[in-house]
Amino acid sequence: MPAGTYLHLDEESEERFQCAPGPGGWRYTSLRSDGVRVDLVVDARWRQIRLELVTPTWWLRGGVTGPEVAWVRAAGETGTEHTERAAGFISDSPGFLIAVARFLDLGEDAEADVRLVRLSGPSLSPLTATWRWRRAGTSTYDTDTGPLPVSQYDVTDLSTGEIETVHLAGDVVLAAPGIELTALESPPNLTLP
C-alpha cells in the first residue's frame, strides 16, 4: 500500500497520502497540512463512486451516478444538492489525476476528451469543463525493487488550450504541475483493478 507525501508548491502545503486497491476498486485518502482532507473511492472500472472533500470551512460529498455526478456542498450542516453530466471530479489532489487516468485506460499515443467537475479553492467551487488526455508514452526505469514503468500524459484544458504534463507510476503521481512527490514509503501498485 503506497503511502507518502506530496508538496503543493503554490500553497507550500504537504499532502500526506495513502492508497490501495481493494476487492471492488481503489481508495485514496489524504490529509494536507492546511487542513484539506480527501477520501476518494473508485470501483473496478475506475468510476468515482464516492468522494468526500473537506476544507477548514467547506465540505463536499458526491459520486458518479450513471452518466452524471451528483454532490452535496456546504459550509455548515445543510448542503445544496447538485448534478452535472460529467465523468467525475478533479481537484488539486494528485489522487484525482490517478483516478481519471485509470478511468480513461488509454493505450500508447491514444487520446480522449473527458468532461469533469473541477473543485477549486477553500470553498470547493465547482466548474464543469472538458479536458483532452493523451498518453504520450511510457518509459521504464530500473529500481532496487525491479523495473518501474512511468507513463506520461499530456492534459489539455480545452477551454484555454493550456497543456500540462503528468507522470504516473501505477497509483502514484511522480510529477505534475505544482506537485512534487517528496516521500514514498513503499512502491506504487503497478497491478491495479
As a whole number of angstroms, the distance between CA 106 and CA 165 comes to 15
Residue 40 has pLDDT above 70, yes or no: yes
Q: Name residue, grid cell 489532489.
A: 93
Q: How far is CA 174 from CA 22, 34, 41, in A?
A: 22, 22, 21
Using only C-alpha atoms, what is the Rg of the chain? 16
- Please give the pLDDT value at position 193: 57
- Please give the pLDDT value at position 128: 95
Span 54-83, pLDDT tens digits: 999 999 999 999 899 999 999 988 889 999
Q: State mean pLDDT over 3-18.
A: 94
Residue 23 has pLDDT above 80, yes or no: no
For the full predicted model, state whether its pTM sits above 0.85: yes
- Please give the pLDDT value at position 125: 95
- Please give the pLDDT value at position 192: 64
Residue 109 has pLDDT above 70, yes or no: yes
Q: Which three cell numbers stand for residue 88?
A: 467525475
Give the rounded percent of residues in the chain with a pLDDT score beyond 70: 99
